[in-house]
Chains A and B, each alone.
Chain A
Amino acid sequence: MPEPITVMRGKAAPLEADDVDTDQIIPAEFLKIIEKRGLGKYLFYRWRYSEDGSKKPGFALDDPKFRDASILIAGKNFGIGSSRENAVWALVDFGIRCIIASSFGDIFYNNASKNGLLCIKLPEDKVRQLRESARSGELYLTIDLPAQTITTPVGESIRFEIEPHVKERLVKGLDDIAITLSKYGEKIKKFEEGMPRFLMPRPRRFVVE
């Protein structure tokens, strides 16, 4: 179960790209690992490492001034593509607690909310402005999730919108399954009793192809 998030303070790092797909966040070859911990070293693997395994220069998160960053400022359409939750696990394992972008892939956004990774949507010009100030390596942001505000070092307060259920899940670090079963178990049972039989899978023993 993820740690609850209330107020966090951290350094922001810029990721200068739109349309970052989950194949870039973690390549498919690392999906064979049957664990969610320890994936941080494969984060953005092809952007950070050459074919021979040597470090490529120039990737922001490897820059010493961003090494302790916990907030990522991206562009638009962050996390599009594959449903792999490993992308979220890798970001979290790397130490990223919050991503700010103008839009997110739907599945990625849901996955993040189940793993204590806060995704904040802001207008495009605001994201660009934050990304530009983050380049200095000195942009420390205070994010207050209950109050839905981001505070910059110069005291600017930016309000953000977030779906109430996503907020609640992140603030409380909830176990969705326990809640569903305890609060809605009876309703699920009742729904099942009314299900039409003709929509059930009907395996037949002999099949003519």
Chain B
Amino acid sequence: MGRTVFEKIWENHVVAEREDGETLLYIDRHLTHEVTSPVAFEELRSKSRRVRRPDLTFAVMDHNVPTTERSLPVTDELSSAQMAELARNAAEFGITLLDYHSPWQGIVHVIGPELGLTLPGITLVCGDSHTSTHGALGALAFGIGTSEGEHVFATQTIWLKKSKKMEIRLEGELQRGVSAKDVILHVIRHLGTGGMIGHVVEFTGEATRRLSVEARMTLCNMSIEGGARTAIIEPDEKVIRYIRGAPYAPDGDEWEEAVKYWSSLRTDPSAIYDARFVFDVSRIEPQVSWGTNPAMTVGVTEQVPSPEDYEDRTKRTLVERALRYMGLRPGTRITEIPIDVVFIGSCTNARLSDLIEAARIVKGRRVKQGVRAMVVPGSMLVKRRAERIGLHRIFIEAGFEWRYPGCSMCIAMNPDRLRPGERCASTSNRNFENRQGPGGRTHLVSPAMAAAAALEGKFVDVREIEPADIGDLGLRARLDEPWVR
């Protein structure tokens, strides 16, 4: 029987197998950050254990860093203490740290791929659920807990039971103004928040192949919101171009060897999945979440649903609760919902291509009076590249704040947060209650939809807006081959 790309990478990393079905898998990269690591390091210390492979372990500060001017002190004492703790642990255990002031600092799932730490065919873990993002490059990447992280620190391996395999085949051509974010929101709407539980999802099909590497990251990133153990996409020429020349990527003869290996990482035609779904992406319109989990999503031309639409009692209670929290009435048209805040950022949608999509909508226009709008680039590198092609000016002239990188208002551990009752068009990944700040109301959308909402002060169908020409500026080359001049 043929094997999927996931199975091939898995089998290449098996150290041992136990009779009970658990596999000891070798981990090629361990990325870590200030929030989920302190207890793991403390446990290592208390048992006099070391980090087995500090050369394969990388730490970055992202979750609670301020996004304001870096020269200012971090005023939140707890955040500051957590950052200091990571610095102390990195020094003590000999791990490379990209700290608050590093020119390569950024959200862990943005910097991994852009620095070439993430490569096709490797196994990667991080104490963060959105680690599935790295699957877009053909890496097998798992989000793990703190105890599992401690195990990886100490042994460079993890015990896992092989997940089931799910294929999500994307066919057809996206409409103008519709992005990977809309696709994944649509998929989660149809499969539910638990629809992918226990599965490694592989995205396949012509529409997946047509997506840019960064758009594929958006797809894999949010698969966790459907419950997936992780997601993966076969690495192709686009992926190879994307990492060529990156600081940590192989070079010289090793590059040639690597490319040869990566080209072998294909799902065999005879491989069999445990579950399969096919979506025609040409029928997907821009999506807007209306409720308090990512499956509570509708198309922009639809309306807020009513509890009456659901037969199941538990489901009806859930919808009632969500509507109450969101302050929405059933039957309200999505395009009638006013917003107070716009957040363009997060590991889902803060890469250069996301900012370009948003800038095309924003250029030459103004943020609606009364709307607070901010752009938080995913990394220092994204920020510098965006500034080099003038995106920051487009945003600032329109009335957006242009910030420093971090997780920011996606998780609201730093000062970027909603006030109670505020309604936000957000390019992040979770619309859970209180996620963006106590009492805050989150609507998940694509970068273009968020940008359009900022201009109008309410949701609009971005397909009706003609995107501005922001000039070529060698953009295309830079997006496909960011490290090659």
Query: Which residues of A does B touch, CB under 8 Å?
Result: 16-19, 21, 23-24, 27-29, 31-36, 46, 51, 75-77, 80-85, 88, 103-107, 110-111, 114-115, 163-165, 168, 176-177, 180-181, 184, 187-188, 191-192, 195-204, 207-209
Complex-state Cα separation, A90 to B374, whole angstroms:
33
Interface set, chain B 260-300, CB cutoff 8 A to A = 261, 293
B434 CB to nearest A CB, Å: 5
Complex-state Cα separation, A188 to B163, whole angstroms:
22
Binary contact readout B58-94 vs A (1 if CB under 8 angstroms, 0 otherwise): 1000011000000000000011011001000000000
Pairs A–B under 8 Å by Cβ, sample size 7: A28-B411, A28-B413, A75-B314, A77-B194, A84-B35, A198-B261, A204-B248
Number of chain B residues whose Cβ lies closer than 8 Å to a Cβ of chain A: 92
Chain B, Cβ-Cβ closest to A112: B145
Contact at B198–A184, with CB atoms within 8 Å? Answer: no
B244 CB to nearest A CB, Å: 13
Tell me if B385 is interfacial: C-beta within 8 Å of chain A: yes
- Chain A residues near B329 (CB-CB < 8 A): none
Partner of B227, one of A29, A77, A84: A77
Chain A, Cβ-Cβ closest to B161: A163
Contact at B413–A32, with CB atoms within 8 Å? Answer: yes
- Chain B residues near A18 (CB-CB < 8 A): 314-315, 318
- Chain B residues near A163 (CB-CB < 8 A): 20-21, 161
Chain B, Cβ-Cβ closest to A21: B432
- Chain B residues near A209 (CB-CB < 8 A): 381, 384-385, 483
Contact at B15–A184, with CB atoms within 8 Å? Answer: yes
Tell me if B29 is interfacial: C-beta within 8 Å of chain A: yes
Partner of A51, one of B15, B26, B420: B420
Contact at A23–B35, with CB atoms within 8 Å? Answer: no
Contact at B85–A34, with CB atoms within 8 Å? Answer: yes
Contact at B157–A23, with CB atoms within 8 Å? Answer: no
Contact at A202–B249, with CB atoms within 8 Å? Answer: yes
Partner of A34, one of B81, B147, B413: B81
Contact at A46–B434, with CB atoms within 8 Å? Answer: yes
Contact at A23–B433, with CB atoms within 8 Å? Answer: yes
State the 10 A-B residue pairs at the shortest beta-carbon distance, nearest first: A111-B145, A114-B147, A32-B78, A77-B194, A198-B254, A164-B20, A85-B145, A85-B146, A198-B258, A83-B129
Contact at B155–A188, with CB atoms within 8 Å? Answer: yes
Q: Which has the most chain B C-beta neighbours within 10 Å: A75, A181, A199?
A: A199
With contacts defined as CB atoms under 8 Å apart, how many contacts are there between chain A and chain B in the complex? Answer: 212
Given contacts A77-B227, A85-B145, contact A196 B56 (CB under 8 A): no
Contact at B129–A32, with CB atoms within 8 Å? Answer: no
Tell me if B389 is interfacial: C-beta within 8 Å of chain A: no
A168 CB to nearest B CB, Å: 7
Partner of A181, one of B155, B384, B412: B155
Binary contact readout B148-190 vs A (1 if CB under 8 angstroms, 0 otherwise): 1011001111010101000000000000000000000000000
Chain A, Cβ-Cβ closest to B41: A34
Complex-state Cα separation, A62 to B178, whole angstroms:
46
Contact at B257–A196, with CB atoms within 8 Å? Answer: yes
Given contacts A85-B147, A106-B197, A201-B117, contact A31 B159 (CB under 8 A): no
B18 CB to nearest A CB, Å: 7
Complex-state Cα separation, A66 to B85, whole angstroms:
38
Contact at A202–B318, with CB atoms within 8 Å? Answer: no
- Chain B residues near A180 (CB-CB < 8 A): 24, 151, 154-155, 157, 159
Contact at B147–A191, with CB atoms within 8 Å? Answer: no
- Chain A residues near B64 (CB-CB < 8 A): 32
Partner of B247, one of A164, A196, A198, A207: A207
- Chain A residues near B420 (CB-CB < 8 A): 51
- Chain B residues near A16 (CB-CB < 8 A): 314, 317
- Chain A residues near B381 (CB-CB < 8 A): 209
Partner of B82, one of A34, A105, A202: A34
- Chain B residues near A198 (CB-CB < 8 A): 250, 254-255, 257-258, 261
